[in-house]
Every structure is written in C-alpha cells, then in structure tokens.
Amino acid sequence: MHSINRRDFLSGLSLATAVLATPRYGFSWVHKANEFVEVDTTYGRIKGMRTEGVSVFKGIPYGGRVSGDRRFRRPAPLESWTGVRDALQVGAPAIQAPRRNEPAPAEDCLFLNVWTPANDNRKRPVMFYNHGGGFVIGSGASASQDGSNLARNFDVVVVETNHRLGLLGFLYLDELAGSDYAGSGNMGMLDIVDGLKWVHDNIAQFGGDPNNVMIWGESGGGAKTSCLYAMPSAAPYFNKASIESGPGVRMTLKETAAETTSLLLKELNIAPKDWRKLLDVPAADLLAMQGKLPSVAPFLGKNTSKGVAPRRAGGFGPVVDGHALPHNPFDPTAPAISKNKPLLVGWNEDEFTFFAWERKDTEFAKLDFEGVQKRLEPQYGEDTLKLIEAYRKATPNATAPQLYIAISSIAMMGLGSVDIAEKKAKQGGAPVFLYNFGYKSEKPIPGTDYPMGTPHAMDISFKFNNEVPPRDGSTPKESFFGGNRPERFTASHHFAELWATFARTGRPAAKDVPTWPAYNLKTRPTMRIDSTCEIIDNRFNEELNFWRSIGRL
C-alpha cells in the first residue's frame, strides 16, 4: 500500500459516510413517539413528531422535479399541497448505491430535515449542515449527524438537505445544451442554495432566525461549504460558515469539466450533437458509468513547486463556470462576497488513520523511516527525504508510523485549511478561527496495535453532541470510532457548544474552554479541541514552513 490516490480517497469518503450512517454506530432515527406537531410552510401544512423536547420534521420537499426533462436543469417549480402532509419519514437520497434504513435513491431527491426545540417563533440560530461523501454519495439522513441532541442541548435549529450528486448533479453541459442548461455543472450546489432559500422563507415557523444562518459541513460537505461561501446566489441566505476536514480551495475548471463530458459521451457512444440522448439513459446506467470514469477528489491543493497541478478529466463536482461559481472558492484569495462573514476552518489530527482502516492497511504500522520514504516518494519525489528530515527535526520523538500518519494527515486536510485561514485573515474582514480536533480514540486499527487517534469523520458524532451517555442511565456503548473512554462525552460537549455559540454570535466559545482568539498571521492561534481544550500559537510552525518551501502551501 502506497500513498493514497484519488480513487482510493473518494471511495474512502464514501465508506465513511456509509459507516457513520449505520444506526448501531450513530444516533438512531427510531424515537419513542410523544406527539404529532404541525406547522405551516409556504407550500402547505406539514406534520412532524415531537420527541423528548425536540420537534423533528423529515422529508420536507424544498424543490420540484429534477427527473425527465428536468434532468441536468434547475428544478421544476414545487407545487403546493392541500391538507396536511406527513413529514415523518426521510426523503429519497440522490442517485447512489442503496443506503441502509433510507428510501431507495431517486433522481427526485430535493428533501430536507429540520430539528427544532420548539415551533414557538423564537429566533434561534440556524445550523444548516452539508453532508459529506465527496460529491457522489451521502444524505441529510445519516444517523451520526442526527440533529436532536444539538437542538435540544444548545437551543439551535438544525437543517440538512438531500441534493443531486455525482453525474446527475455536476455534469457540465453549458457549452453543448444552451441556456436552459446554464449552470449544469453546479446543479447539486444550486440545489443546496434552494434549500437555503427555503430556510430563509420558512424557518421562522420552526423557531429559527432566517437572518442568523450558519452553513457548515465535513469532508465533501466542507468542500460544498467552501463553494457556497463564494457563490453569489447563496450570499443572501447565510451569515457565517464552518469548513471541517474539507478545505475546498479549488474546484474543477470548465475546460476540464468539458473534457469529462466528452469522456462520458464517448463511453456511451453518443455524439456531442446528440447530447439529448443523455435524458433517456436510465439513472442506474448513468450511475454505473460514473463509476467507470476516473475518480477525482472533491478538493485539490497545490502539488507542484511551480504551482497548481492541472486537474485531470473525470469525476464530478462543482465547476468554476464563471457564473454559478465565478471563481475558485479560495484561490487566489478569500472570496470578497463573504468578506464580512465569520469563518471556522480546521481538521482532525490523525485524518489518515481512517483511510488506513478503510483500506485494511496494517503494514504502515510496521514501517521504519526507510519504509516511510519509499511510501511517500511516488507523491513527493525528490522532496521526500527533505520532508521526512523536516518532520523528524520538528517531532524528534515520533516513531516512523506516527510520522507517516502526521505527514499524510496534514497534507490531506491541513494544508488547505491553513491556506484558507491565512487568506481569510489577510482579507481584513470578519474573523476566521482555526482549529484542530484532537480527542484520541484508543481503539486500535484492526490487525495493528496502532490506535485510531482522531481519524477522518470522527468529528461528526462529536460536533452533533451524539457522543453522550444514554439518557436512560444504562452502560454506554462503545463509539464506532471514538472508543470507550468517558472523556469523549466532555470532548463532544465542548465541540458542540463551540459550534453552537459560533452559530449564535459569530465567535466560538464554551464553558471551561479558553477564549478562542481569531487567527492572525503573527501568533497564528489554533484551538485544539479535546476533553481539555487549549490554544496553541504557531502550531506546526516548522512543518508548515517546510511545506511552504516546497510550494505545497
């Protein structure tokens, strides 16, 4: 097993979402029914369920049909209904492999879920979450991101959407199909914007403040949040943002997206002038074809000393089309359109252990420093030995496997996060706050004695405050990634309270947590989130200076 490639990375993101959506590992969607609760929306009245102090509304439509002649286009207008519509079951996720305990995936997937402490017209902050899974899988019904505890314990309203994904959400047809398909390479993102507009028009009825909306997301959801931060159509509908383990600095250029479209048409034996035949291809066949094309990670960083490597054709995600997404989210600068919107950004300390676990890689735990060099050389070439020497100097007590995980983790999620924080700080507008999540799971990676530490995706259940003792006082079950130590409950509370306070005020804060200063280019303060939190100035300074010296940051 060598350095992770783009296909492995994307499949890992998919597995992360699938694992964390499994109810026995997360916060179950099955609740004891207390009472029904009804509320009016702009399209009609809906009925949800109030359980243990939280009103939950599932499967609310926020957009119309996107199948048939609406494939690759903006949705048909959503039709109002009469009477009371049930909002008791989650809606269909976007086209992907079947998801456990969710409806069958479908093209018509524009649904959202709402958790609120009460439908009482109070103006609570709204936390609008973008699910992970790259840009190809996932849903707003993943069990680990159940919003009940966050709403109940921190008096916020939580909203999550389903939206188009993969080929059906991001196939670039602008140059072939004409004005009806303008923005085709960003349909999945524009769906999310429609969800934000629904929140603006309706969330007051759910006890939320339409003028105090935070967008946030992890992994692919962080990349989606990065894009929304730069999209003119989204700008009126949110006030602050958080990008977690998904620094979307750059997205696909339209020239590359056009090459991907050509690849697809060639594979389907469709001439460019006959592109309309795509409207008749069954969605299942398009999903199969999507899997045959080269995969591309949902976000890119610098990877040559001469600048940014060109993104190769293949894969589906947001397109820098000059309109829906006018420019790269954070390249060359932070987006001016969001200059006055506060931002949180950061990553998990041991991101890469997730991918070692997912790939059943046990050999990394046996590496010596020569073995680390061999593993990293395909990615870093002539810089590899200098990179290892820089890390050994900065962390002289690190073992070879620890050094390998540290390098791989910061390269994957850390460099882009720091890049975003620096560019936002240079902008001189609203503050940006940089964090590392560092709670350490003691669970070993199967087949090794190496602990999971703080792997990719472990933060989801923590920040949703779903790492909590059972409400009935029974013995806590082991957390899938988080392990058994009771300290995880304190770390989860810190994480959730920091984020809920940021949603409320634009500045993260929590009881028993140090004051979190905004990031600046002198002291570079970073909040390390754990059962005991601390501010660390100039964290990873030597390591980051080396990454800068080889043009990776």
Active site residues: 219
Q: Rounded distance, CA 20 to CA 382, Å?
A: 38
Confirm if 83 and 45 have CB atoms less than 8 A apart: yes
**Tokens 């697809």 — which residue?**
264
For residue 368, count other CB atoms closer than 10 A to its CB: 11
How many Cα atoms occupy the beta-carbon half-sphere of 53 within 13 Å? 10
Which residue blocks in 268-331 are alpha helix, DSSP H? 283-292
Residue 358 corresponds to which tokens in the numbers above? Answer: 């997912």
| Rounded Cα distance, 304 and 150, in Å | 41
Task: Specify the amino acid at residue 256.
Answer: T
What is the token pair recorded at 297? 């990670």
H or E element that contains 444: strand 441-444
SS3 state of residue 147: coil
CA distance 530 to 85: 43
Q: Is residue 110 a contact partner of residue 197, using CB atoms and an 8 Å limit?
A: no
Q: Is 378 exposed, middle or buried (0-12, 13-18, 19+ CB in 10 A)?
A: exposed
CA distance 293 to 313: 9
Amino acid (one-letter) located at 210: P
Pairing of strands 252-253, 208-218: unpaired
Closest CA to 154 of 464, 545, 532, 526: 464
Q: Among candidates 164, 184, 165, which has minimal Cα distance to 275? A: 184
Neighbour tally for 5: CB within 10 Å: 12
CA distance 237 to 228: 10
- Phi then psi dihedrals of residue 148, to 5 deg: -60, -50
- Written as six digits, the tokens of 354 are 């997730």
d(CA 266, CA 274): 11
Helices (H), 305-414: 351-358, 369-380, 384-394, 400-409
Compute the distance between CA of residue 479 and CA of residue 488 in angstroms, rounded to an integer. Answer: 9
Rounded distance between C-alpha atoms, residue 49 and residue 228, angstroms: 31
d(CA 313, CA 253): 10
Of the candidates 46, 31, 24, 10, the one whose C-alpha atom is nearest the C-alpha of residue 198 is 46
What is the dihedral angle through the alpha carbons of 387, 296, 197, 27, rounded to the nearest 10 degrees? -80
Q: Token match 């200063």: residue?
A: 517
User: Taking the CB of residue 203, how many other CB atoms lie within 10 A of it?
Assistant: 25
